[in-house]
Amino acid sequence: MGLYNNRIVVKVGTSTLTNDAGKSDLRTTDRLVCVLSDIQNMGYEVVLVSSGAIAVGRNKLNMTSKPDSMRMKQAAAAVGQCSLMYLYDKFFGDYDKTVAQILLNAEDIEQEEKKENLINTFNALLEMGVIPIVNENDSVSYKEIESEDRLFGDNDMLSAVVAVLCRARHLVILSDIDGFYDHDPRLYPNAKLIEQIDTIDDSVYALAGGAGSRRGTGGMRTKLQAAALATSQGTDTIVTNGKHPEALYDIVKGLHAGTLFPGKI
């Protein structure tokens, strides 16, 4: 079965949704919501994979530092997910859009029956013009937050899984940086942006460092893993800067933005 050419999955990371003080970056969030709504008005089906629950919860609970213990992270996620969805519902509502929340963990796609149900739910929502907003089910799926051999790893991988389930033409991973560079630009100021990567092999993984900010997790390594999965199923994957969500207009038109990992089939 082929891909849906008008279907796009967009992943946004914590580092885009929050500012340096750890509070919600309302302007960036609203601009992203505006562009996603506009793209849907242009005839595209949009799925948003959004991180941010732990950071937003942490802020709401006045936790001064990133919680170390699993129970505090899960508690922060439970509080933050609620606030995050309230914000999305409000912002998307301003553009006359309806959103839905889908919280997932690895078991939900490992079992064939659950996976089928999930695909049916996505399709039903998209047919009705709803914008599904997906996150890991952090408050129950401790494996996803902590374990090394986890399937989702973090939301980069989750977004690739969702793009594959939805058979989306495009997966766009919005980060706090313009794309994939030949070195981590935070450590190497002369690093150069790579516009297209056709093969994700060990030499490419060797260029990828970890998370850049206190708020992000995974860094470029998990984005490469996500791109490897999505492109193996034909989905074009783009890593670009979430501070400039207008790039999504170019991407749906097939124009260049950030770093492109072309789909393989």
Ligand X SMILES: N[C@@H](CCC(=O)OP(=O)(O)O)C(=O)O
Ligand Y SMILES: Nc1ncnc2c1ncn2[C@@H]1O[C@H](COP(=O)(O)OP(=O)(O)O)[C@@H](O)[C@H]1O
* Annotated binding-site positions: 11, 51, 138, 155, 175-176, 217-223
* Phi/psi-derived region of residue 35, left when phi > 0, alpha when psi is between -120 and 50, beta in every other case: alpha
Q: How far is the CB of 164 from ligand X (least distance, A)?
A: 17
Q: How far apart are CA 138 and CA 90, in angstroms?
A: 23
Among 3, 8, 10, 13, binds ligand X (CB under 6 A): 13
Give the count of beta carbons closer than 10 Å to the beta carbon of residue 161: 23
141 binds, among ligand X, ligand Y, none (CB under 5 to 8 A by kind): none
Q: Which stretch binds ligand Y (CB under 6 A): 40-48, 88-96, 141-149, 216-224?
A: 216-224
Give the three-state DSSP class for 174: strand
The DSSP annotation for 114-172 comes to HHHHHHHHHHHHHHTT-EEEEEE-TTT-HHHHH-TT-SSTTHHHHHHHHHHHHTEEEEE
**Binders in 24-53 for ligand X, by CB under 6 A:** 51-53
209 binds, among ligand Y, ligand X, none (CB under 5 to 8 A by kind): ligand Y
136 binds, among ligand Y, ligand X, none (CB under 5 to 8 A by kind): ligand X
- The pairing of strands 131-136 and 168-175 is unpaired
Q: Does residue 54 interact with ligand X by CB under 6 A?
A: yes
CA nearest to 180, candidates 233, 228, 219 = 219
Q: Does residue 245 interact with ligand Y by CB under 6 A?
A: no
Angle of the 70-94 helix axis to the 53-60 helix axis, nearest 10: 100
**Binders in 105-144 for ligand Y, by CB under 6 A:** none
Q: Quick one: 42 or 193, whose CB is closer to ligand Y?
A: 193
Q: Does residue 258 interact with ligand Y by CB under 6 A?
A: no
**Binders in 220-239 for ligand Y, by CB under 6 A:** 220
Distance of CA 148 to the CA centre of its chain: 19
Q: Which stretch binds ligand Y (CB under 6 A): 12-20, 91-99, 109-117, 121-129?
A: 12-20
> Applying CB under 6 A, which residues contact ligand Y?
13-15, 175-177, 180-181, 183-186, 207-209, 211-213, 216-220
